[in-house]
């Protein structure tokens, strides 16, 4: 079992819709969780991080965390074609203070 | 504020040749990371530095890879000799510790290595 798992996609949504990206992790001791966006040929850029159970909102983005289910999600409201990218979920390992990344989900927003 | 600076952006070398990558982190970030990203995969940690000390190099292939971070600022990652399977994007990142740990890494633009 991989430490951080994501559906590779591609996930296709129409412009203006809500895109829902999911991630599960195996390290029950993980305390912090991150979402990165990576455009083709570019390096990952941080979108959001979340530490506590529940929701955290930042503009059109909402991160959701459920530690009991070891599940993290990212919702993108009013999706735009410019949101088309690969979204990487990253989990801070309990020991070693390092981020472990999933393989990413490709999102395509169609206009 | 300048971000994480990496060079070169691209490198093409023949197998068995040496190659080196350079990284300058964000000023004030004491933790520096080297990751490798293969096509279609997420980044994988190679080595983590806290100041000048390598605190996690468990995934660094030490037979051919080496790294240094002199004076706790910029860092160099070297491969000697390179193999075809080393073709990947090498990403440097840095972070600053806060009350709850770090608040995420900032990545440099990466070096795309092609070994032929």
pLDDT value of residue A80: 98
* Residues of A in Cβ contact (< 8 Å) with B41: 103-104
In this prediction, residues A87-102 reach a mean pLDDT of 86
pLDDT at A96: 62
In this prediction, residues A85-111 reach a mean pLDDT of: 91
**Contact yes or no for B103/B3 (Cβ under 8 A):** no
Is B43 in Cβ contact with A44 (below 8 Å)? yes
CB contact under 8 A, A96 and B56: yes
Decide if pLDDT at A10 tops 60: yes
Average pLDDT, integer, range A50-70 = 94
- Number of Cβ within 10 Å of residue B23's Cβ equals 26
Q: Report CB contact under 8 Å: B104, A49.
A: yes
Apex A15 CA angle, A10 and A18, nearest 5: 70
* Cβ of residue A52 closer than 8 Å to a chain B Cβ: no
Q: Which of A105, A101, A12, A85 is nearest to A42 (CA)?
A: A85
B69-102 pLDDT per residue, tens: 988 899 999 999 999 999 999 999 999 876 556 7
Q: Is B104 on the interface with A (CB under 8 A)?
A: yes
CB atoms B101 and A43 under 8 Å: no
């Amino acid at each position: 079992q991989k430490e951080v798992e994501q559906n590779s996609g591609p996930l296709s949504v129409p412009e203006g819709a809500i895109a829902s990206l999911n991630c599960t992790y195996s390290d029950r001791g993980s305390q912090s969780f991150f979402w990165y966006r990576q455009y083709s040929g570019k390096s990952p850029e941080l979108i959001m991080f979340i530490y506590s159970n529940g929701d955290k909102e930042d503009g059109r983005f909402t991160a959701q965390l459920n530690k009991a289910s070891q599940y993290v999600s990212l919702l993108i409201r009013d999706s735009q074609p410019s949101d088309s990218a690969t979204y990487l979920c990253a989990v801070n390992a309990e020991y070693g203070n390092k981020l472990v990344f999933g393989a990413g989900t490709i999102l395509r927003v169609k206009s | 504020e300048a971000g994480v600076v990496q060079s070169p952006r691209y490198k093409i070398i023949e197998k068995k040749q040496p190659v080196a990558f350079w990284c300058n982190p964000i000023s004030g970030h004491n933790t520096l990371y080297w990751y490798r990203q293969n096509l279609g995969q997420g980044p994988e940690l190679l080595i983590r530095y806290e100041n000048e000390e390598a605190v996690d190099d468990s995934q660094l292939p030490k037979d051919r890879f080496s790294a240094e971070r002199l004076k706790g600022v910029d860092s160099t990652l070297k491969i000697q000799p390179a193999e075809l399977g080393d073709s990947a994007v090498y990403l440097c990142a840095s972070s600053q510790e806060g009350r709850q740990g770090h608040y995420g890494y900032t990545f440099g633009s990466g070096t795309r290595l092609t070994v032929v």
